[in-house]
Chains A and B, each alone.
Chain A
Amino acid sequence: MNRWIARRLLLGLAQTAGVVLLVFALTEALPGDAAVALAGDDPDPARIAALREALHLDRPAHERLADWAAGLLHGDLGVSLASGRPVTDALAAGAGPTLLLAVLTLVLLVPLGVGLGVLAARYEGGPVDRAVSAVTLAVYAMPEFAFGILLVTVFALRLAWLPPTAVGYGTDLLAHPAVLVLPVLVLLSRPVCSLGRLVRAGMAEALASPYAAQARRYGVPGARVRWAHALPNAVAPAAQQLARTADWLLCGVIVVEALFAIPGLGTVLVDAVAARDVPVVQGLAVVFGLVAVVLSLGADLVARRFAPRAGVAA
């Protein structure tokens, strides 16, 4: 087991390094560089050349990458090209709100998704099941941006129950829980649907299985059969789906932060790519890569724990 974890971790580190290299290559492949982006609508060639020199962008790409990687080994993520401030500052400033959104979403996602799935499976084929399926499918099919605007229009602007954006609350969002309601709802919308549908499918299969029928013949109460016997087997694929939700959250966070003006990592990423701020983009790639690796490892551990016979691939 421990050897398996070590192997997975090594693999994960290699994957992260690959992601970072790929991101670097992609950012370099984008037209223009930080000097061009900074010059913006005033592309005076002399000005761009001066900026390029000041930012040391006139050195070959492999040299810049090697420098950056050398710094990374000392835990130094380098300096933002756009602001001249350390990359770690930019990441630390954006991490709070994003982490808060992600943790809240994940915490609510599991009970909601599992609950919906179990509910639908319990009344398989009935009106409850159909209603749950129809609603989850409809919400799932809606782009987050559109869903967010819909929620803001109804709950913030029409009914005035909740604030429409996080503007003016700074980063201390926890002190203003009302601000968080709509962003978290938007973030939850699609993962809850996909998770619920997965759990429903797994539960339906498990409840129809011989061991569940056997348990019922022994007189085990229905609730116990559902929650103690069937659910663990249904949860394994859902746990892996949950890990995939992490990358989903990243996309969702970009949309949600833009929509509600929350200054988190999604905003940092969009700004950094537009500014061709390579060190910041690279720093984010490292962070996101590591998070994805840890989460998928955790998910596989959960899956192994609940359904060892499913033979989860290492």
Chain B
Amino acid sequence: MHPTPRRTFLTAAGAGIATLTLAACGPGTGPSPADDKGKPKRGGRLRAAFAGGGAAETLDPHLSNLFADAARAKALFDKLADYGSDMTPRPRLAERWEAAGPGLDRWTVTLREATFHDGRPVTAEDVLFSYRRIADPKKAFRAKASLEPIDLDASRATGPRTVEFRLKRPTAEFPNVLAAFGAYIVPKGAERFDKPVGSGPFRFVSFTPGRSARFRRNDAYWDGAPHLDELEFVVANEESARVGALLGGQVDYAHELNPTTARAHEGKGRIEIVRLRNSAMQGFAMKTDRAPFDDPRVREAFFLIADRKELVDGALSGAGEIGNDLFGKGYAHYAAGLPQRTQDLDRARHLLKAAGADDLRVTLDTSPVAAGFTEAAGIFRDQARKAGVTVEVRTGNKDSYWKDILDSGTLASYRSGAMPIEAHISQRLLTGSTTNATHWRHKDFDDLYQRLQSTKDTAERAGLYERMQRRLHTEGGFLVWGFADWIVGTGRRVRGVARDAPANTLDWARFDTVWLA
């Protein structure tokens, strides 16, 4: 009886964790719900409760893995760019970027005037140091895969605040790289992070791993000083403890609440419930390189078996919306024009018969690694039975789940936090992708991606996005049945918490624009 989902990860999935980002309409603008009217008040201390990583926590921003890590890193450090709510990159430490020359394989990034907490200016050298540190082959930093397109040996500083990035190949969506998860800029030479110095809105005060991190306002912040005097992150791994602490006034902000908790307290006036939409894709991954899913008719049959509404209502307690077998609903370049799939059991049966799989038995791997996984698996099993398919649910270990399903099994519960659609494709859907859970490996699809990255014209690129997604919608390996809300609770005095910010975007877990009424 340990209801303790411990680790919550920022991208694929963790114990009920997705990553959210807040959309910034330009730097420093939080959304304004009705009660956020009035002039922000300065002062006060805000306490935010997150699920944490225990005694292994660190303030090294390049080691960020969990939501708590990302939230702390974002308070102390900046990236060159960060994602708006539609997952397009917005300038942060970079003032602007442009392709240098016609090839899309050289980019010039110009930094804004900003200083680290110790007064040193942020320079091109710091940027190159940070990126080289992340890409160090001896280390295993998470953002390394995102920076892969950059040839860091050939990249150089062309001025104190200009960097020329040389890339290994044309990369039209290079700005996505600048906003990648974990790609924070640290001062040149930084290796120890027990007293971290960043350029972010808050300065370091104290840190006890697994317990608490205290920061104070950085008055010299380039994007305007925060309203709060002090910000403290506290760790409470158990959802009930986070809710209790929030209701009891011990914290002012609680990250990652359950839909049932949200329903119980919404509109009751004790706490505010903030639902961050489109935060986590929910679905099933079919291995397209092995029976039975190497037959596109079987994959289409599975798309038609799913009753998406029932899955959202049952597995997410209604806190989300239905999906259409594509990643990235609500994000830039999403193929919103494709018809919404609905359940069609007759056609599913017909397709299975045609594929010679009318008496199909499939094992569905799942695990309590993320909220709703085991529930969704059970619901889908019952839906499949109506189409004559026997789905056997196999529950695996949550700590090693993502590795276990990467190459084994045939069908598995899957989820993903927010990222640009381009990043989803490059990390999961190309022949050389590092985490290709559907084993989708098609030369012509890889070529489309390369064409997209070599195309300067945005309209033409949009057409290529559309083509790739149409293909995935027709015969891809991801059955995407829904998009979960990320639920945050705040105390009644808290103002300025962004509401349009999927996990992992700029305005998610952003405290420099928050104030206490």
Contact = CB atoms under 8 A, between A and B. Distances in A.
A120 interface: no
B142 to A, nearest CB: 6
Interface of A: 30-32, 36-48, 50-51, 54, 80, 82-83, 85, 89-90, 93-94, 143, 145, 149, 152, 156-157, 160, 163-165, 167-168, 170-171, 254-255, 258-261, 263, 267-268, 270-272, 274-277, 280
B425 interface: no
A268 B406 CA distance: 29
Interface stretch (B4-12, B95-103, B326-334, B457-465): B4-12
Contacts of B9: 40-42
Nearest to A143: B1
Contacts of B54: 82, 267-268, 270-272, 275
Contacts of A171: 211
What class of interface size applies to chain B in its complex with A? Answer: 35 or more
B400 A145 contact: no
B267 interface: no
B397 interface: yes
Interface string B235-273: 111101110110110110000000000000000000000
A160 B248 contact: yes
A38 B4 CA distance: 18
Contacts of B137: 50
Nearest to B14: A41
Nearest to B54: A271
B87 to A, nearest CB: 18
Given A31-B396, A46-B434, A51-B140, A261 B238 contact: yes
Contact of A42 (B6, B397, B435): B435
A165 B12 contact: no
A149 B261 CA distance: 13
Contacts of B234: 167-168, 261
B293 to A, nearest CB: 20
A184 B210 CA distance: 22
Contacts of B170: none
Residue from B10, B234, B241 whose CB has the most chain A CB atoms within 10 Å: B241
Nearest to B4: A258
B248 A40 contact: no
A275 B4 CA distance: 13
A259 B238 contact: yes
A274 B399 contact: yes
A32 B400 contact: yes
Given A41-B9, A48-B403, A93-B208, 15 more contacts: A30-B400, A41-B402, A42-B12, A42-B402, A47-B145, A54-B139, A82-B56, A156-B244, A167-B234, A167-B251, A261-B241, A263-B210, A267-B237, A270-B4, A271-B54
B11 A41 contact: yes
30 contacts: A31-B396, A31-B404, A32-B403, A37-B400, A39-B402, A41-B9, A42-B65, A43-B403, A44-B435, A50-B138, A54-B139, A82-B53, A85-B55, A149-B240, A164-B245, A168-B232, A168-B251, A258-B3, A258-B241, A261-B235, A261-B237, A261-B241, A261-B245, A263-B210, A267-B210, A271-B53, A271-B210, A272-B54, A274-B7, A280-B55
Contacts of B211: 170-171, 263
Given A261-B236, A261-B238, A271-B210, A145 B14 contact: no
A157 B2 CA distance: 23
Contact of B55 (A83, A163, A276): A83
B6 A274 contact: yes
B65 A38 contact: yes
Given A80-B56, A157-B248, A54 B1 contact: no
A36 B9 CA distance: 13
Contacts of A164: 241, 244-245, 247-248, 250
Residue from B55, B232, B399 whose CB has the most chain A CB atoms within 10 Å: B55
A254 B235 CA distance: 16
Contacts of A38: 65, 140
B455 interface: no
Contacts of B55: 80, 82-83, 85, 89-90, 93-94, 268, 271, 280
B68 interface: no
B296 interface: no
Interface in B1-31: 1-4, 6-7, 9-14
A144 B162 CA distance: 60
Contacts of A46: 434
B79 interface: no
B209 A168 contact: no
B142 A42 contact: yes
Given A83-B58, A170-B212, A43 B406 contact: yes
A161 to B, nearest CB: 11
Residue from A90, A168, A268 whose CB has the most chain B CB atoms within 10 Å: A168
B248 A165 contact: yes
A272 B210 CA distance: 12
A36 B248 contact: no
Contacts of A36: 399-400, 403
Contacts of A163: 248, 250
Interface in B175-197: none
A186 to B, nearest CB: 13
Interface in B38-76: 47, 49, 53-58, 65
